[in-house]
Amino acid sequence: MRIDRAVREDLPALGRLKWQDVPADLTAGRSLDTFIAELGEWWQAHAHTHVAFVARTEDDDRVVGAAWVALVPRVPRPGAPDRISADIQSVFVVPEHRRRGAGRGLVAAACAHAVSVGAERITVHSSEAAVGLYRELGFADSPRLRQFLAPATATPESA
């Protein structure tokens, strides 16, 4: 497995992975090609804050996993005018390639990138199945980190 920083040519593979990573009811009646185009527009608009990494197979260079890191500017404080935090997002490896080091490599690459640009803190919202992996990579539970879950809003489709 090889881990690379994603490039624009990886967009279709990134879109297919994200498409696979959501419940089928979210993709029903929608077009994968349209989603890939939307993802491309979003990525271009957020290129300064979001970096993607991909896991490729050694034999045929196929993209089988991805992870994103979001860089979040923080309020300056005296002596630290350029503070940054990071959040690992959308880590996904196709089921047939799990437990081979792809997820570990993707998260490690995303963390290394965040540290290289000065992130003071890196967070992740993990599935229960991945908690052990994140702990092995140095993530720890925080007694001070809190999250506010916004109430679900009605959409035209749900009204």
Domain ranges, residue 55: 2-6+48-136
pLDDT at 157: 55
pLDDT at 150: 87
Domain presence at residue 125? yes
Domain presence at residue 16? no
Domain presence at residue 143? no
Per-residue pLDDT at 15 exceeds 80: yes
Distance CA 28, CA 26 (A): 6
Domain presence at residue 66? yes
Per-residue pLDDT at 35 exceeds 80: yes
pLDDT at 159: 44
Average pLDDT over residues 26-31: 94
Domain presence at residue 110? yes
Query: How far out from the chain centre does Cα 55 lie?
Result: 12
Structure-model confidence comparison of residues 153 and 17, the more confident one: 17
User: Could you tell me the CA-to-CA distances from 128 to 131, 132, 133, 158 in Å, in that order?
Assistant: 6, 8, 10, 28
Q: What is the CATH number of the domain that holds 75?
A: 3.40.630.30
Cβ-Cβ contacts under 8 Å for 22 (sequence gap 6 or more): none
Number of separate domains in the chain: 1
Query: Quick one: CA dihedral 132, 135, 139, 143, positive or negative?
Result: positive
Domain presence at residue 112? yes
Domain presence at residue 124? yes
**70's torsion region: left (phi>0), alpha (psi -120 to 50) or beta?**
beta
Average pLDDT over residues 140-145: 89
Give SS3 for 82.
coil
Cβ-Cβ contacts under 8 Å for 98 (sequence gap 6 or more): none
Per-residue pLDDT at 108 exceeds 90: yes
pLDDT tens-digit map of 78-103: 999 999 999 999 999 999 999 999 99
pLDDT at 146: 85
Distance CA 117, CA 49 (A): 11
Mean pLDDT score of the chain: 93
108's tokens? 């490690």
Average pLDDT over residues 16-40: 95
- pLDDT-above-70 percentage for the chain: 96
- pLDDT-above-90 percentage for the chain: 85
Domain presence at residue 146? no
17's tokens? 């992975």
pLDDT tens-digit map of 43-65: 999 999 999 999 999 999 999 99
Q: Say which amino acid occupies 58.
A: E
pLDDT at 158: 46
